[in-house]
Each structure stands twice: as structure tokens, then as C-alpha cells.
């Protein structure tokens, strides 16, 4: 694939381990238990990489040997925000590496009359405007839901440059739509697929992530 993502997009290094994991979750014959297990492994890697792109400050500590160590500490607090329902699958991966992290929720569905994304529910920590937000959604297809979610965060006082969008599978169309509207934020993705089919599904993709993860695909 010759597509070169814009500088706002960070794609995970395509190691043999990651490619093996994504192969498993893309396989239509993978059983739900394995789909969950290997998706969770990718999500953990994705969250760890996302944290690498948050600002830090210098910090010194005294080690048990009595010597000083000059290190770093994260600057500011973070908050996870999942786009329901599929984004909720990424919450545990965030909790595994960020103890007691606060998590907000956004529910966005397509309006049957306008065919546009519509916000139905949003619940955030009261101090979300002062936090760095990790927006969670495993798939970035057209970008419609992501754009609506980002607009909602900005409406609640979150600065665009404080939003980091984490997803497992993305495509050029969705990336272009999000970056064109929000050039100051970053996207961290595990893999970038070829594009969208006639039904706006990511191809080759992996099907409906939420249904496969939560067991409502059969």
C-alpha cells in the first residue's frame, strides 16, 4: 500500500508480532474468545504508544542506593472517552496501564432522517477541560462518528491539541476527514487499510468490531 498518512497520524510499527495479532482478529473464522484476547493485546500496545505522545516534565527521584535519578513525569492528568459501544472494548486496556483513570462516554448514532451522525448521550468528568483526552474507538471508517465526538469534547472545553484518538483499524478516507477538520490533534492507529467499499465498510477490514467483541454477531 503506497498511502502516506499525514504527520498527525502515528501508525504502530508493523512488527511481526503486531501483524500476527491483526491477522488473527481479521480472520472470519476466529472464535470470539480468541478475538477478544488478541484484540485486547493490540489495544494494550495501542494505549502504551498513545501515552508516548503526551507531554512530560523533568522529575528527579532518589533511588534506594541514595543516588539521584533524573527522569520524567507526565504533565497533567488524562481521561479516557469511549465512543459507545465498540469503544467500550478499549476501556480495560486503558485501565490496565493507567490506574484509576476516569472514563467518559459518548453515544453517537446515525439520524434516520438526515443520515448524519447525531449525539444521543455524553457524560464526562466535570474537569475534563483540564485533562488530556484519549478518545477510544476501534474503527475509523468515514470519520463521521469521530468528528462528532471530537466536536462534543471541544464543546465541553477540551482543547483540540489535547485530544488523542486511538483506533485499531483506520482507512485513508476517515483519516483525511478527521485531519482536515481537526489538524491540531493526533491519531494513533494500529493499521491503515486500503479504503471503504460501496457500503462504507473498511476493506479488507475485520467486520463489525463491536459485534464480534461483545458476541452479538450471531
CATH number of the CATH domain containing 43: 3.40.50.2020
pTM of the model: 0.91
pLDDT tier, 109 (very low <50, low <70, confident <90, very high otherwise): confident
- Residue 159, pLDDT > 70, answer yes
Q: Is residue 167 in a domain?
A: yes
pLDDT over 90 for what percent of the chain?
A: 85
Peptide bond into 118 cis (omega under 30): no
What is the reported pLDDT for 32? 95
Which structural domain range is residue 165 located in? 9-58+76-214
pLDDT over 70 for what percent of the chain?
A: 97
Q: Is residue 204 in a domain?
A: yes
- Calculate mean pLDDT across residues 44-72: 95
Q: Is residue 206 in a domain?
A: yes
What is the reported pLDDT for 218? 66
What is the reported pLDDT for 100? 86
pLDDT tier, 48 (very low <50, low <70, confident <90, very high otherwise): very high
Q: Is residue 68 in a domain?
A: no
pLDDT tier, 115 (very low <50, low <70, confident <90, very high otherwise): low
Total domain count for the chain? 1
Q: How far apart (Å, rounded) are the C-alpha atoms in residues 137 and 6?
A: 20
Dihedral over Cα of 80, 182, 197, 1: its sign = negative
Q: Is residue 3 in a domain?
A: no
What is the reported pLDDT for 17? 96
Range of lowest pLDDT (107-111, 138-142, 187-191) = 107-111
3-state secondary structure of 91: helix
Mean pLDDT over the full length of the chain? 93
Q: Is residue 71 in a domain?
A: no
Residues 6 or more apart whose CB falls under 8 angstroms from that of 187 comprise: 8, 9, 10, 140, 164, 165, 167, 170, 175, 178, 179
Q: Is residue 65 in a domain?
A: no
Q: Is residue 2 in a domain?
A: no
Amino acid at each position: 500500500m503506497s498511502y502516506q498518512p499525514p504527520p498527525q497520524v502515528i501508525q504502530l510499527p508493523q512488527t511481526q508480532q503486531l501483524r500476527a495479532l491483526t491477522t488473527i482478529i481479521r480472520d472470519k473464522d476466529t472464535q470470539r474468545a480468541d478475538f477478544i484476547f488478541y484484540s485486547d493485546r493490540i489495544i494494550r500496545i495501542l494505549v502504551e504508544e498513545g501515552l508516548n505522545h503526551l507531554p512530560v516534565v523533568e522529575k528527579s527521584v532518589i533511588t534506594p542506593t541514595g543516588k539521584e535519578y533524573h527522569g520524567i513525569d507526565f504533565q497533567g492528568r488524562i481521561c479516557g472517552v469511549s465512543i459507545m459501544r465498540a469503544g467500550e472494548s478499549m476501556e480495560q486496556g486503558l485501565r490496565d496501564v493507567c490506574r484509576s483513570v476516569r472514563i467518559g462516554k459518548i453515544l453517537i448514532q446515525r439520524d434516520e432522517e438526515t443520515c448524519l451522525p447525531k449525539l444521543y448521550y455524553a457524560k464526562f468528568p466535570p474537569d475534563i477541560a483540564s485533562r488530556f483526552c484519549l478518545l477510544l474507538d476501534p474503527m475509523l471508517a468515514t470519520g463521521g462518528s469521530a468528528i462528532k465526538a471530537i466536536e462534543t469534547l471541544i464543546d465541553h472545553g477540551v482543547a483540540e491539541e489535547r485530544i488523542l484518538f486511538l483506533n485499531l483499524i483506520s482507512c485513508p478516507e476517515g483519516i483525511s476527514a478527521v485531519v482536515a477538520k481537526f489538524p491540531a490533534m493526533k491519531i494513533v492507529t494500529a493499521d491503515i487499510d486500503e479504503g471503504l467499499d460501496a457500503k462504507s465498510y473498511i476493506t479488507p477490514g475485520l467486520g463489525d468490531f463491536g459485534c464480534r467483541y461483545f458476541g452479538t454477531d450471531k
